[in-house]
Amino acid sequence: MHAERMERVRAAMAAQGVDVLLLSVGADLPWLTGYEAMALERLTMLVVPRDGDATLVVPRLEAPRVVERPDVFAVHPWDETDDPIGVVTALSGPAGTVAIGDRTWARFLVDLQAAAAGSPAWRKASEVTGPLRARKDPSEITALRDAAAAADRVAAQLQDGQIPLLGRTEADVSADIGRRLIDEGHRRVNFAIVATGANAASPHHEAGPTVIEPGQVVLCDFGGTWPTDSGAGYCSDITRCVALGPPPPEVAEAYAVLQAAQAASVAAATVGTACEGVDAAARSPITAAGYGERFIHRTGHGIGVEEHEDPYIVAGNATPLAAGHAFSVEPGIYTPEAWGLRLEDIVVATDAGPLALNRADHDLVVVEG
């Protein structure tokens, strides 16, 4: 699997005129090698010359964590008194164009640029890896499906009333949801937004000390990372809203529009449809119902080893969906100082049509407390 990915990476490097690819922290490295770099001041970097062997330069004390894959890369541990920038520069050789991982710390990039032989052009590695990572292979789709099923089980607990809400703070409920994501098999929690009442009008509200009260609608948007044998984890991401008592008519009406728009957008996500077409399928009915100005974000984002990656479901992205593209469909309607609603599923484009991975009840479920 990793050897095959390395081959595709080299082909993309050749097509784009990239001589060396450098990967450090971020999702590209675990996707390509199964190893996730620690985000520390000691440099970890995979050096992939287009026509030479790949080498993982790693701090000696972290080398025991590396699962070796000699068919894909060699391991070069460096000692505390070594100069890892020099090691990477030597392994890179003279290069005309270097692509470096988007999330590499600036301190390393600055040092690498100063040390580079000649003055290579520097590009973002995502130009090489983004389109490759966006199209999931069957093992990746299985991992995303398992992650989504686990997130669905937590959503069902929320909708069944098994997660107490009334009288608790958002932060408490957020921690509770996080524990349940782990209990259901995730390896880590990436986020658990809990926003009650007016707080939900801020799409990325941070769960805080606000106490959840009767009559409120509570927006919960959460996800974690699902472990796999490949070494890379795959993300879940789901949003459901629940109401503590019958919702006010204006909220119920807006939710009905949102739910229909979300379903229309999922249905539109067929192979060959432009990403912006999927966005439009969610946005048109919301705009037609008069809520257009209150849908203040794109419809979705790709998902995989990272929570947010290519392809982005947004106006202006004419990229046609291809089989294996995995992404969220998550329209929202937000009324400042009053309430907020969002509904989110992860969807995979397949030759047989859109495959929605999340199955938790899509209604605005009323819970007792």
Closer residue to Zn ion in complex, CB, 99/343:
343
**Minimum gap (Å) between residue 239 Cβ and Zn ion:** 5
Please give the size of the binding site for Zn ion, defined by CB under 5 A. 5
H or E segment and range at residue 55: strand 55-59
Segment 186 to 225, residues that bind Zn ion, using CB under 5 A: 221
Segment interacting with Zn ion, rule: CB under 5 A, options 39-47, 166-174, 176-184, 336-344: 336-344
Closer residue to Zn ion in complex, CB, 33/239:
239
Q: Answer yes or no whether residue 310 interacts with Zn ion by CB under 5 A.
A: no
* Cα(203)–Cα(342) distance, integer angstroms: 8
**Minimum gap (Å) between residue 58 Cβ and Zn ion:** 32
Segment interacting with Zn ion, rule: CB under 5 A, options 133-141, 155-163, 266-274, 342-350: 342-350
* Cα(318)–Cα(313) distance, integer angstroms: 9
* Cα(13)–Cα(48) distance, integer angstroms: 10
Closer residue to Zn ion in complex, CB, 152/221:
221
Segment 229 to 268, residues that bind Zn ion, using CB under 5 A: 237, 239
Between the alpha carbon of residue 64 and those of residues 15, 24, 59, the distances in Å are 35, 17, 10
If you count DSSP H runs as helices and E runs as strands, how many of each does the chain have, helices first? Answer: 9, 18
Closer residue to Zn ion in complex, CB, 112/278:
278
Number of Cβ within 10 Å of residue 12's Cβ equals 19
DSSP-derived letter for residue 200 is G
Who contacts 67 (Cβ-Cβ below 8 Å, separation ≥6)? 34, 35, 231
Segment 94 to 133, residues that bind Zn ion, using CB under 5 A: none
**Minimum gap (Å) between residue 138 Cβ and Zn ion:** 23
* Cα(222)–Cα(206) distance, integer angstroms: 12
146: amino acid identity, one letter: D
- Considering only residues 328, 343, 354, 360, which one is a binding residue for Zn ion as defined by CB under 5 A? 328
**Minimum gap (Å) between residue 187 Cβ and Zn ion:** 18
Residues that bind Zn ion (CB under 5 A): 221, 237, 239, 328, 344
